[in-house]
């Protein structure tokens, strides 16, 4: 590629989902909606950047075809079938399952011709990103590639543009080598070599970084000069505290308090119905608490927000249904005329989540495996009276928060139940002190600083 074809962007970000989405409105026009996720707020600290992302919906694709765009965003109109294969077939049904160790191995995975067909789409999808980045980047520009959707991009981009500074950041856990090599040998090698095309690969915790290094050592002979880094994404305290006291949150707070009833303790969980979040075992632990400690009946309510995730995959639909079924069974077994043991909401509502954070006496965060888990960091920041964090040792947040949390083995329902009982009985002064320390640790590297730290590290030689 000659220098005359180089773009002008000095900082580029690549991710599957971008900061904006489009829909065709009733008049046939294109309406834009800005995203509000953690990555969007983190990257907003660098104004002069180009964000390369994929068109995810028909509205997005139509916007690209009509030339509708936002400043600083390039959306790729990748064939819908190719995107579905790459995103659902490979990224979410293979790589996510490997890194979160979710397979029921007597039956799955089974890597046959259909997998190979979908893998070819994953390659094509990654190549589309690499080519767009190569086209848009100024000489010597800095490119930060995000997550498991785009593991092949660094290597592909390196071949196209050897002058660029390339980073890759993984927001998921990384599988231990014995689990990672469940992938076909050539695919495992392709993923690792793709990521090692970066100057620097970074992770949320040292544990995940070490697991990646271990995989490289055993499967491709080392990290080939690629530097490995750790950046523990924290909560945005200023934003959360301000947002948690707006009128819509106050309204939902009043509604929740009315639903819970006066003078009752509150155990809160807020999650997507993602298989790794372990919602069903959390409900089982609460059920066991009511069974084994009857003194808590009518004195505690479990507020469980389980927002549907990836409902285009059957296994996720089934899991969401099971969450609802178990919650209903607990209520059927224990509810009285004046007390509903489980208050379950499955419709996403950020203001209601913040209201729940504020009134939580106990926050239950018990994932099977999680890259970080920002809920564990957000609740102590927003809590009105202080809360006890019951935290899985398999969450990335454990590395920073373990000292002031009650930690649990996510598979041990009895142990989790005992931890809930201990949390509910904790004296107020101890609870408040723990919450202060948790909030300080949780906000040590807020989103903007997290991204700037990566850029700085990538530019250092």
pLDDT of res. 5: 64
- Picking from 442, 452, 453, 44, the residue whose alpha carbon sits closest to that of residue 235 is 442
Give the mean pLDDT of 141-153. 97
pLDDT of res. 28: 86
3/217 Cα distance (integer angstroms): 36
Beta bridge partners of 32: 22
The answer to whether the beta carbons of residues 34 and 73 sit under 8 Å apart is no
168/216 Cα distance (integer angstroms): 15
Task: Give the dihedral sign, CA 440/244/48/454.
Answer: positive
Summarised one tens digit per residue, pLDDT across range 187-233 is 999 999 999 999 999 999 999 999 999 999 999 999 999 999 999 99
- Six-digit token string for 273: 């119905």
Give the mean pLDDT of 40-48. 81
Strands 265-272, 50-54: parallel, antiparallel or unpaired by DSSP? unpaired
Summarised one tens digit per residue, pLDDT across range 373-425 is 999 999 999 999 999 999 999 999 999 999 999 999 999 999 999 999 999 99
Give the mean pLDDT of 305-315. 77
Assign 141 to helix, strand or coil.
strand
* Strands (DSSP E) found in 81-184: 137-146, 165-169
28/14 Cα distance (integer angstroms): 29
pLDDT of res. 398: 97
Higher pLDDT, 295 or 41: 295
Summarised one tens digit per residue, pLDDT across range 313-332 is 778 888 889 999 999 999 99
Percent of all residues in the chain with a pLDDT value above 70, rounded to a whole number? 98
Q: DSSP of 10-73, one letter per residue? A: EEEEE-SS-SEEEEE-TTS-EEEEE--SHHHHHHTT--S-EEEEE--SHHHHHHHHHT---TTE
Give the mean pLDDT of 171-194. 98
Flag the least confident range among 29-33, 116-120, 169-173, 279-283.
Answer: 29-33
Task: Please tell me the pTM assigned to this model.
Answer: 0.94
Instruction: Please determine, for residue 94, whether its predicted confidence score (pLDDT) is greater than 50.
Output: yes
pLDDT of res. 461: 65
Which helix (H) or strand (E) segment holds residue 132: the answer is helix 113-136
Instruction: Please determine, for residue 346, whether its predicted confidence score (pLDDT) is greater than 60.
Output: yes
Q: What is the mean pLDDT of the chain?
A: 94
Assign 395 to helix, strand or coil.
strand
pLDDT of res. 460: 87
């Amino acid at each position: 590629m000659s220098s005359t074809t180089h773009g002008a962007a000095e900082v580029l970000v690549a991710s599957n989902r971008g900061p904006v989405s489009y829909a065709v409105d009733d008049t046939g026009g294109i309406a834009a909606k800005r995203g509000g996720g953690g990555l969007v707020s983190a990257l907003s600290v660098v104004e002069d950047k180009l964000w390369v992302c994929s068109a995810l919906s028909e509205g997005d694709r139509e916007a690209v075809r009509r030339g509708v765009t936002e400043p600083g965003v390039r959306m790729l109109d990748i064939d819908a079938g190719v995107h579905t294969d790459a995103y659902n077939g490979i990224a979410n049904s293979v790589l996510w399952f490997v890194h979160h160790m979710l397979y029921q191995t007597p039956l799955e995975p089974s890597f046959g011709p259909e997998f190979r067909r979908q893998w070819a789409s994953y390659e094509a999808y990654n190549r589309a990103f690499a080519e767009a980045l190569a086209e848009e980047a100024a000489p010597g520009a800095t490119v930060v590639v995000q997550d498991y959707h785009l593991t092949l991009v660094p290597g592909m981009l390196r071949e196209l543009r050897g002058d660029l500074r390339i980073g890759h950041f993984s927001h998921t856990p990384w599988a231990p080598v014995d689990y990672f090599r469940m992938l076909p040998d050539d695919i495992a090698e392709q993923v690792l070599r793709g990521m090692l095309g970066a100057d620097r690969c970074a992770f949320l915790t040292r544990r995940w970084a070490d697991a990646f290094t271990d995989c490289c050592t055993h499967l491709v002979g080392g990290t080939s000069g690629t530097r490995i880094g750790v950046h523990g994404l924290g909560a945005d305290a200023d934003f959360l505290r301000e947002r948690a006291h707006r009128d819509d949150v106050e309204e939902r707070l009043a509604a929740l308090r009315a639903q819970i009833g006066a003078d009752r303790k509150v155990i809160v969980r807020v999650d997507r119905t993602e298989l790794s979040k372990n919602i069903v075992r959390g409900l089982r632990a609460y059920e066991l608490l009511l069974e084994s400690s009857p003194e808590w009946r009518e004195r505690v309510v479990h507020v469980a927000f389980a927002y549907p995730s990836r409902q285009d995959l059957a296994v996720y639909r089934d899991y969401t249904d099971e969450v609802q079924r178990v919650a209903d069974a607990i209520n059927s077994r224990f509810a009285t005329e004046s007390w509903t043991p489980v208050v379950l909401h499955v419709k996403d509502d950020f203001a209601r989540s913040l209201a729940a954070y504020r009134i939580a006496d106990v926050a239950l965060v018990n994932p099977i495996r999680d890259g970080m888990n920002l809920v564990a960091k957000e609740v102590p920041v927003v809590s009105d009276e202080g809360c006890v964090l019951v935290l899985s040792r398999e969450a990335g947040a454990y590395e920073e928060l373990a000292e002031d949390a009650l930690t649990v083995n996510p598979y041990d329902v009895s142990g989790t139940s005992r931890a809930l009982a201990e949390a509910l009985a904790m004296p107020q002064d101890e609870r408040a002190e723990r919450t202060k320390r948790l909030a300080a640790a949780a906000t040590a590297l807020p989103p903007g600083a997290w991204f700037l730290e990566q850029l700085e590290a990538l530019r250092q030689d």
